[in-house]
Amino acid sequence: MPCLPCTRDVQQRPLRDIPMSQQDLPSKATYRGSCLCGAVHYEVDGDILFASHCHCSMCRKAHGAAFGSYGGVPSDKFRFTRGNDVVRTFASSPGVERRFCQHCGSPLTWTSHQHPDYVAFTLGTLETPLPMPAGMRHIHVASKAPWYEICDSLPRADGDG
Ligand SMILES: [Zn+2]
Ligand SMILES: [Zn+2]
């Protein structure tokens, strides 16, 4: 079945079509994001080291969506700037913590004790425009929802890639 709805995806523009100023963003910018109700705000200092669309069943449930999209940065590059007191934590599996806003439920971060120096934050809560992060990939594709078809050319991995 062809992926017609996705062929208009602007993210698939060749990199050369993106102005140089935007190409420079990932290593220079501070990205800002917030939850749906606005109680929680955060900042991320650029260099997004890894990025993924995770299709595992837990991310699908946590996001209520076909997949969860994350950018990964060193822990000291991510900070909550407002609403820290309303951020709640759910341990979705041993050693894994998902943080979210207690008021609106927006998923905000994912951390694992296996990777204590990094935090993955949810790209869907960003307000600062983010060009396609280098290394973006689909992971846990083996757990993908059957009603969703991956329609882009990003790398795919059955596991955590
Ligand atoms: Zn909220
Ligand atoms: Zn996942």
pLDDT at 21: 47
> What is the domain count for the chain?
1
DSSP 8-class letter at 118: E
How far is ligand 2, taken at its centre, from the CA of residue 120, in Å? 11
Q: What pLDDT band is residue 47 in, cutting at 50, 70 and 90? A: confident
pLDDT at 16: 45
Tell me the one-letter amino acid at 87: V
Listed residue (8, 7, 11) closest to 129, CA to CA: 11
Residue 51 falls inside a structural domain: yes
Instruction: Kindly report whether the global pTM for this prediction surpasses the value 0.85.
Output: no
Note the ligand closest to the C-alpha atom of 37: 1
Residue 157 falls inside a structural domain: no
Note the ligand closest to the C-alpha atom of 141: 2
Residue 150 falls inside a structural domain: no
Residue 14 falls inside a structural domain: no
User: Residue 47 sits in which domain range?
Assistant: 30-143
Residue 74 falls inside a structural domain: yes
The protein residues having their C-beta less than 5 angstroms from ligand 1 (an ion) are 35, 37, 39, 101, 103-104
How far is ligand 2, taken at its centre, from the CA of residue 71, in Å? 12
**CATH (domain of 59):** 2.170.150.70
* Rounded Cα gap, residues 154 and 102, in angstroms: 33
End-to-end CA distance of the chain: 25
User: 């800002």: which residue's tokens?
Assistant: 32
Residue 98 falls inside a structural domain: yes
Residue 132 falls inside a structural domain: yes
* Rounded Cα gap, residues 156 and 161, in angstroms: 8
If you average pLDDT over residues 35-40, what whole number do you get? 98
C-beta separation of 137 from 155 below 8 A: yes
Note the ligand closest to the C-alpha atom of 35: 1
